[in-house]
A and B are shown apart, each in its own frame.
Chain A
Amino acid sequence: DADVTQTPRNRITKTGKRIMLECSQTKGHDRMYWYRQDPGLGLRLIYYSFDVKDINKGEISDGYSVSRQAQAKFSLSLESAIPNQTALYFCATSDLARTDTQYFGPGTRLTVL
């Protein structure tokens, strides 16, 4: 089984809808991250969490919110989706004690019409 899983893998929604993307990990890492990937822009950090009680905004947090329900779960929400949030979304985890290498999920392709 994969160490970092994301659901759903693909989602098409309409402008104004609320969307939640979920991430689960079995690596036992404290740190979790949400990124979006757009062609030519690489990965940009949306939010990150260094433990269950710690949530931090990344480079592009506007329009997004997160919830760290447990050490193993980190959800990303779009309260009112807009077309320019169409992108590939990745969850990642890391463990500072192991040089903070990040391990990525398979991604969620989100299309907002």
Chain B
Amino acid sequence: AQSVTQLGSHVSVSEGALVLLRCNYSSSVPPYLFWYVQYPNQGLQLLLKYTSAATLVKGINGFEAEFKKSETSFHLTKPSAHMSDAAEYFCAVSERNNDMRFGAGTRLTVKP
């Protein structure tokens, strides 16, 4: 079955610094890959998704992620962190006709 590993349960950056959240996946077929964000006391919101088109995917709020098949990775980046980016981020993998699997999540803290 497909799976996702998120490296680092908690990442802390300063405002204006680069954000890098790491995600590695395992899948037996070409996967769909997703990043979701969860703000406090809210449900999950889609940030971006990879569906076998361009390997560099741009999402909302200035985030982007790059699909690297050779590294089985789909890391999330943002050049300059804002205080409003503080949230929990989940990477997920889907094998189309199978269910979606989520990583354990990475909590991002942004320091002023």
Whether A45 sits at the interface, judged by CB under 8 Å, is yes
Minimum CB–CB distance from A103 to chain B (whole Å) comes to 8
- The answer to whether A40 and B99 have CB atoms under 8 Å apart is no
Interface string of B17-48 (1 = CB under 8 A from A): 00000000000000010101000001111100
Among residues of A, the one whose C-beta sits closest to the C-beta of B9 is: A40
Interface string of A43-86 (1 = CB under 8 A from B): 11100100000001010000000000000000000000000000
- The answer to whether A45 and B101 have CB atoms under 8 Å apart is yes
Interface residues on A, range: 20 to 34
Q: Which residues of B contact A (CB under 8 A)?
A: 6, 9, 32, 34, 36, 42-46, 49, 51, 90, 92, 94, 96-97, 99-105
**List of A residues within 8 angstroms of B100 by Cβ:** 33, 45, 94, 100, 102
**List of A residues within 8 angstroms of B101 by Cβ:** 45
Q: Which residues of A contact B (CB under 8 A)?
A: 4, 33, 35, 40-45, 48, 56, 58, 90, 92, 94, 96, 99-107
